[in-house]
Amino acid sequence: MWGDMKYKAAIILGTFLIGTICGCVTVPRNELPLYQRSMVINNKAIEDQILSKASLVEVADPDVNNIKILYLNGTPYEMGFQHGRLLTDDVQANIHRVIRLAKILGTEDILDETYDLMAPYIPIEEKEEMRGLAHGADIPLRVIHWFHAVPEISEYGPKRRFLKQASCSNVVTFGKSTADGEMYHLRVLDWIRRMGVQRRPVILVHRPDSGNTSVTFSFAGFIGCVSGMNEKQMSFGEMGYGDPPGESLEGIPFVFLFRKLMREADTLDDAKEIVQNVRRTCSYIFMITDAKADDESGKALLFMTDRNRIKVFGENTPLTDEREGTEYPPIDDVIYGGAKMEETYKAISEYYGKINTGVLMEITRIIALKGNMQNVVFKPGTLEAWVSHAANNTRDEEGKACNQKWFYFNFGDALRN
């Protein structure tokens, strides 16, 4: 259906670059006015009232890719509309760039069918937020759907066509392993730097009418979560994990599963129940923390999941996978996993008892892969976070996110304001 592209990587990349520069790969455009499209907004007074609930902070610092902070309030549709309208140019630029690549690798019909497989399992909240985003950014809804299907497609073994090279990494440390006894969670996102979405990073603070307030370290136009934290002192990170038999696109994409978890989970037990009961898709490892939990109940869990199984690991236990024939040694008050397990183990052992935000930033340089496009250090107990993104115009070692300036964000302050 998509053809075997393994030996055509160079041709694909060259075509992508030409298509992006020349605009010869077209993206569908919206032709309907807002008040005709929307079932919610039919006059300017309503539009202005919805937009008045949101606020935007622009950080004019090119060293952090001019990151923006968007505070969203209201119903899912309203929050999506606020996102699309307040960041229209950035949303359109990000989505058009990615969809040009997607359309080189597959037809519009394939993209429609891929989303259609996922759609029954996507929460109504995220469907409505995508609808609002489409209306606010003046983009066809089907294009918004395509954009949010890309992460799941890139992990799906039988149809992997985005030249994805490897996994990510997550490290959680607390207790005796850290300098101050506090919990820290390092999330390393290794994906596809040439996609370019890191050029327009956005911190999205969702204050829904119902459910937990959360923060997502995202990109303009993307409402899903790959790195996030909620007001219950919980943090969330993901890693891809192989291509076992039985992977499927008929389930909830992990980027929407994380949104559901942040909105609905108050504890690790809640998160565990949700992960176990949803219909899963591809093979992933999830790292989820709860800083308010006591030592007896456990402060973090690593979930090794795929369509047909789930294994849960707590702290101070070896990470094993009989399918792969691997076992990694435990470290007291640490849970770790990712692409460079040996290097991660050595780095944690070297800094054991001294770990803090600065140490984790240095460890990121050791374990990040070529595609390192985002890193986040969470301190869930205080709801603080530090984030870095890959450089805008470089794809070499120096351009990796781990080598860039870190941006500090205090989610706790956002909750108080």
* 320 within some domain: yes
Alpha carbon distance 238, 226 (integer Å):
7
Same domain, 119 and 175: no
Residue with tokens 């969203």: 72
- Tell me the residue range of the domain where 268 lies: 169-202+237-416
* Residue finishing a domain among 100, 128, 159: 159
**What are φ and ψ of residue 382, in 5° steps?**
-110, 0
Q: What single string gives the DSSP state of each residue in 228-241?
A: EEETTTEEEEEEE-
- pLDDT at site 13: 36
pLDDT at 44: 97
Instruction: List Cβ neighbours of 318 (8 Å cut-off, separation of 6 or more).
Output: 327, 328, 329, 330
The low-confidence residues of the chain, meaning pLDDT below 70, are 1-24, 156-166, 322-325, 393
Task: Examine residue 380 and state whether it is found in any structural domain, yes or no.
Answer: yes
| Residue 214 resides in a domain | no
3-state DSSP assignment of residue 195 = helix
- Do 91 and 227 contact (CB within 8 A), yes or no? no
By percentage, how much of the chain surpasses pLDDT 90? 72
Same domain, yes or no, for 155 and 300?
no
Measuring CA to CA, which residue among 375, 169, 126 is closest to residue 255? Answer: 126
pLDDT score for 321: 72
State how far the Cα of 187 lies from the Cα of 229, in Å rounded to an integer: 11
Q: How far is CA 121 from CA 256, 297, 347, in A?
A: 9, 31, 39
Q: Count the domains in the chain.
A: 2
247 in any annotated domain: yes
Q: How far apart are CA 133 and CA 271, in angstroms?
A: 27
pLDDT in tens, 191-245: 888 889 999 999 999 999 999 999 999 999 999 999 999 999 999 999 988 777 7
Encoding tokens for residue 142?
Answer: 């089907």
pLDDT tens for 317-342 read 888 876 666 788 999 999 999 989 99
In angstroms, the CA 122 to CA 251 distance is: 8
What token pair was written down for 238?
A: 């993901």
**210 in any annotated domain:** no
Q: Within a 13 Å sphere around the CA of 91, how many CA atoms are in the beta-carbon half?
A: 26
* pLDDT at residue 157, rounded to an integer: 59
pLDDT at residue 243, as a whole number = 75
Residue 222 belongs to some domain of the structure = no
Statement to judge: residues 195 and 83 lie in one domain: no
Residue 217 lies in a domain: no
pTM of the model: 0.91
pLDDT at 308: 87
Sign of CA dihedral 140, 54, 71, 272: negative
Are 78 and 58 members of one domain? yes
Report the alpha-carbon distance of residue 105 to residue 101 in Å, rounded: 7
Q: Tokens for 269?
A: 């037990």
Location of structure tokens 């038999």? 245
17 shares its domain with 57: yes
Query: Where does a domain end: 93, 124, 159?
Result: 159
If asked whether residues 262 and 147 sit together in one domain, one would say: no
Asked if residue 307 and residue 408 are part of one domain, the reply reads yes
**Does residue 384 belong to any structural domain of this protein?**
yes
**Are 178 and 315 in the same domain?**
yes
Cα R_g (the chain), whole angstroms: 20
Please name the amino acid found at residue 28: P
